Chains A and B, each alone.
Chain A
Amino acid sequence: MSRQQPPPQPSPARRGGSYLMSRYLIQRLGFALLTLAALVVVVPILLVIGVIVVRGIGAVNWEFLTAMPREGMKAGGIFPAIVGTLLLTLGTALAAIPIGVGGAIYLSEYARDTWLTRAIRLAIINLAGIPSVVYGLFGFGLFVLFLQFGTSILAGSLTLAIMTLPIIISTAEEALRAVPTEFRTVSASLGGTHWQGICNIVLPQALPGIITGVILGLLRAAGETAPILFTVAAFYLPRLPQSPFDQTMALPYHLYVISTQVPGMPVKIQYGTAVVLLALVLSMNVIATAIRSYFRRRRQW
């Protein structure tokens, strides 16, 4: 064979066959394991949702959603618990969003990289890892007893807000940092103050990321039981709260109560309550995803 001619492409089988076979085999094995891992994650979630919906959907009807509980919660609806959870989520949002987003702006746009800001960041990460029952006890001590808010929506919302803050701050800071530095430089070069650059360019660009973080944080707050256990939740209160200093029922706690504390509770109502809580939380999740993908498509960088 003359050297000038390009050598014929050896077919895979001819070039050291067994080694190649084993490489393909390893690849297939790897993919199989990865697929299995994905299934292990996804299947239980689908099972949980499936079982809850199948067993509980029958209990969900107009009366269940809009009526007061009757006969020691064994009949009637869960209206006050739904309202309570919505109010708590709203209160959490009002307290956590301004502080959380403000803190994120400070950390990403103003704070210099000193030991202090590094300590703050570390503290925020660690706050996210604290068990929720600890937040509950902390809120009980600070808001219910020390500040004398009593067992109230106010105390519960603030407790949930503290628990939500780390999530909001860290996602919002990440979203702000993702905005290219060049935009800030251009804004400054056109005679903009630091704050004008943040308001006009950085914040609008980071908004989808911030909104996603906020919703994910509130989502967690809406589903928590432990923090509201000592600070706001009423065992059985068949009326709507009258003021922020009132107690209220809430879906997660109500679910806990009717599943463990009330003998002879119809299983259907338990599953029905779970379906409502799940629908509430999942719909918030879907909204967050929709907002994110909508803004991502409009983003110009």
Chain B
Amino acid sequence: MYESTNSERTNMAEIKIRIEDVSYSYDDKPALRNVTLDVPANAITVFFGPAAGGKTTLLRLINRLNDLVEGTQMSGRILLDGQDIYTPGFDVINLRRRVGMVFALPLPLPGTVRENVLYGPKLAGLRDPTRLEEILVRSLTQAALWDEVKDRLDDPASALSGGQQQRLCIARSLALEPEVLLLDEPTSGLDPISTGKVEASLFELKQNYTIIIIPHSIQQAARVADYAAFFLMGELIEYRPGKEIFTTPRDRRTEDYVTGRFG
């Protein structure tokens, strides 16, 4: 049993993101300690654990969104397709187009549904109206939102319901056709039906994208995870295929958390 899963892991698809011995701190308060982890392509990898575990920080490091935060220190390397994204001179703007991010709260930009979805492509310099229209339809369809908003494309995005707004944010990230999609508790503010829709679209999307998600509950982690990494106080405790970590956790602390003894 263990053997087979181990070989499954070595056989597992190509490594998309390689996190090597990453430590990180905010104003000398450590947030991550020596985290090493490989994220496989075309799968859903889950980062889970109690609050303040460093999950969000690690997620934001993968597309260098934490560059915007002052007073932080980092060591270690993060490789995307074998390239260190923190090498000086690395094109951060292009990186953020390749690695999309969806935040915990739905954050539609001011403007219409259409403007929100096409914000990224337009910034990238795309002007061709037929291409833009294609992107609009494809992204909204992929995010399982098209049917609900196809007649409201020019309504303000803020007029959508919370669940629709969150799927709009997913569509907005997908519009750039990223290779990796990072989702930070994308369903934390959503009702179960909207959550189901978002999860269903994630299963569709993983055929073509590498997905890393911070789930808002252990149940969700277990539902969506191909691979799961358990974080506690900035340390990576256990990282294994999802089916195993939730049924037969190897580390005592993972077991305590998964079975609901703390957290």
Which of A's residues lie within 8 Å of B, judged by CB?
A: 112-113, 182-193, 196, 200-201, 204-205, 299-301
Q: How far is the CA of A299 from the CA of B156 in the complex (A)?
A: 10
Whether A300 contacts B124 by the Cβ 8 Å rule is no
Inter-chain contacts of A112 with B (CB < 8 A): 70
Task: Judge whether A190 and B68 touch: CB under 8 Å.
Answer: no
Tell me if B18 is interfacial: C-beta within 8 Å of chain A. no
Q: Of B68, B94, B124, which one neighbours A185 at CB under 8 angstroms? A: B68
Interface size range on B against A: 20 to 34
A300–B103 touching, CB < 8 Å:
no
Q: Are B119 and A189 in contact, CB atoms less than 8 angstroms apart?
A: no
**Residue among A182, A200, A205, A299 facing the most chain B CB atoms (10 A cut-off):** A200
The listed residue with most A CB atoms (<10 A of its CB), out of B110, B124, B156, B158, is B110
Smallest distance from the beta carbon of A81 to chain B beta carbons, Å?
A: 43
Interface SS of A by simple majority: helix
The answer to whether the Cβ of B136 comes within 8 Å of any Cβ in the partner chain is no
Cβ-based interface call for B123 (8 A): yes
Interface centre among A189, A200, A204, A205 (most CB of B within 10 A): A189
Question: Closest approach, in angstroms, between the C-beta of A239 and any C-beta of chain B?
Answer: 50
Give A142 Cβ to nearest chain B Cβ, in Å: 37
A192 vs B63: C-alpha distance when bound (angstroms): 13
- The answer on a CB contact under 8 Å between A184 and B109 is no
Say whether B68 contacts A184, CB under 8 Å: yes
Q: Is the CB of B65 within 8 A of A191?
A: no
Which single member of B109, B156, B157, B173 contacts A201 (CB below 8 Å)? B109
Chain B residues with Cβ below 8 Å from A182 are 103, 105, 107
B68 contacts across to A, CB distance below 8 A:
184-185, 188
Residue of A nearest to B169 (CB): A186
Return chain A residues, CB-CB under 8 Å to B43.
Answer: none
Q: A185-B65, A300-B158 are in contact. Are A205 and B110 (CB under 8 A)?
A: yes
Known contacts A190-B96, A300-B156; 16 additional CB pairs below 8 A are: A182-B107, A184-B68, A186-B107, A188-B65, A188-B96, A189-B100, A189-B173, A190-B100, A190-B172, A190-B176, A191-B97, A191-B176, A201-B110, A204-B110, A300-B157, A300-B158
Closest-CB distance, A52 to chain B (whole angstroms)? 43
Q: Mind listing 5 A-B residue pairs with CB under 8 Å? A: A189-B96, A189-B103, A190-B119, A300-B110, A301-B158
With A112-B70, A185-B65, A185-B68 known as contacts, the answer to whether A190 contacts B107 (CB < 8 A) is no
